[in-house]
Amino acid sequence: MTDRTKLLALMERGCAFLGCDLAILGGAMSWLSESNLVSAISNSGCFGVIACGAMSPDMLNEMILETQSKTIKPFGVNLITMHPDLDDLVEVCIRNRVGHIFLAGGLPPMGAVSAIKAGGAKVICFTPTLAFAKRLVRSGVDALVIEGVEAGGHIGAVATSVLVQEIIPHISEVPIFVAGGIGRGEMIAAYLQQGASGAQLGTRFVCAKESIAHPDFKKAFIQASARDAISSVQIDPRFPVIPVRALKNKGSERFAEVQRQIIDRVDKGEMDLATGRLEVEQYWAGALRRAVIDGDVVNGSLMAGQSVGMVKQEEPLLEIIDSLVKEACDYLN
């Protein structure tokens, strides 16, 4: 058995579930995981995922159609469970025959899960604990993603390596994909050997030539080390803001002030907690756009995982995938 055959054998369940050649998913990154990068990932034989984020249903519809014009390969859509138009977004995905819908940001409403399954698509959810994973499986989800604290963007509190040990040995009903801090093929192979069905990478793909990120955004990634990607601080335990990992700059420092303003409005009864959380999400979406699209790497958000230190240059996506596969195969030799 060749090393590549070994790798594909370990990925067999994940590939069958996703309908692709390599069970490597592109993590959904707002403003970055759009038609260009998503289609390039899928065309490479991996699995691209559109980041819906704060998009309206019309915007998502346009993005899906644009992506379908660039690839005939399967890709997914990531939806945020707190989005006020979640039901409409699900309907857009079903209408456009998106086969895999990822629900992120908390326990998904049962109505959304049932609507997705009734529409013929697969439901994939993120889980931070074994108990949560079991609950999701009972609710009918088709696959899970476990994402560790090393990841970029919104993060949990536990390392990927710990989550793998805690969850994978006890869940066999559905495929499990592993994310967080993965920047090389050896780690992909190691998690596959421990029972994962595939891996999800985001930070590693930011500096692909196919990524629309501003040159200054990519430069910040190339110059950064793992220690530069820090998580935001929750300043009030009464207001459980999901931490965000990003490269430290003025934009990340300003987030503390944004939290204080929102907490003050909640305390005064001017805003409920759910609305406050949505405003936090919208803050990050706007700050991220300033950095990714406009190139404001001082005041914008530089969301990055700790694997950012392994991003050394801008290069074609296919070269990134080839490197990951070679590293994984060499590890399995």
| pLDDT beyond 70 at 16 | yes
| Whole-number Å distance between alpha carbons of 112 and 115 | 5
Q: Which domains does the chain have, with CATH numbers?
A: 3-212+311-332 (3.20.20.70), 215-307 (no CATH)
pLDDT given at position 237: 67
Q: Report CA-CA distances (Å) from 303 to 15, 111, 276, 309.
A: 28, 31, 21, 13
pLDDT given at position 154: 84
In this prediction, what percent of the chain has a pLDDT beyond 90?
A: 80
Terminal CA-to-CA distance of the chain, rounded, Å?
A: 10
For the stretch 65-80, pLDDT in tens is 999 999 999 999 999 9
> Among positive and negative, which fits the CA dihedral 270, 272, 273, 275?
negative
pLDDT given at position 238: 62
| pLDDT beyond 70 at 113 | yes
Q: What confidence category does residue 226 fall into, taking pLDDT thresholds of 50, 70 and 90?
A: very high
- Model-wide pTM > 0.75: yes
Rg, C-alpha atoms of the chain:
19
pLDDT given at position 105: 86
- Bridge partner list, 247: 229, 302
- Which residue, among 22, 72, 23, 79, has the nearest Cα to 50 in the 3D structure? 79
Q: What confidence category does residue 241 fall into, taking pLDDT thresholds of 50, 70 and 90?
A: low
If one compares 11 and 255, the residue with the highest pLDDT of the two is 11
DSSP secondary structure, 234-261, as one string? ---TTS-PPPEEEE-SHHHHHHHHHHHH
Structure letter (DSSP) for residue 205: G
In this prediction, what percent of the chain has a pLDDT beyond 70?
A: 97
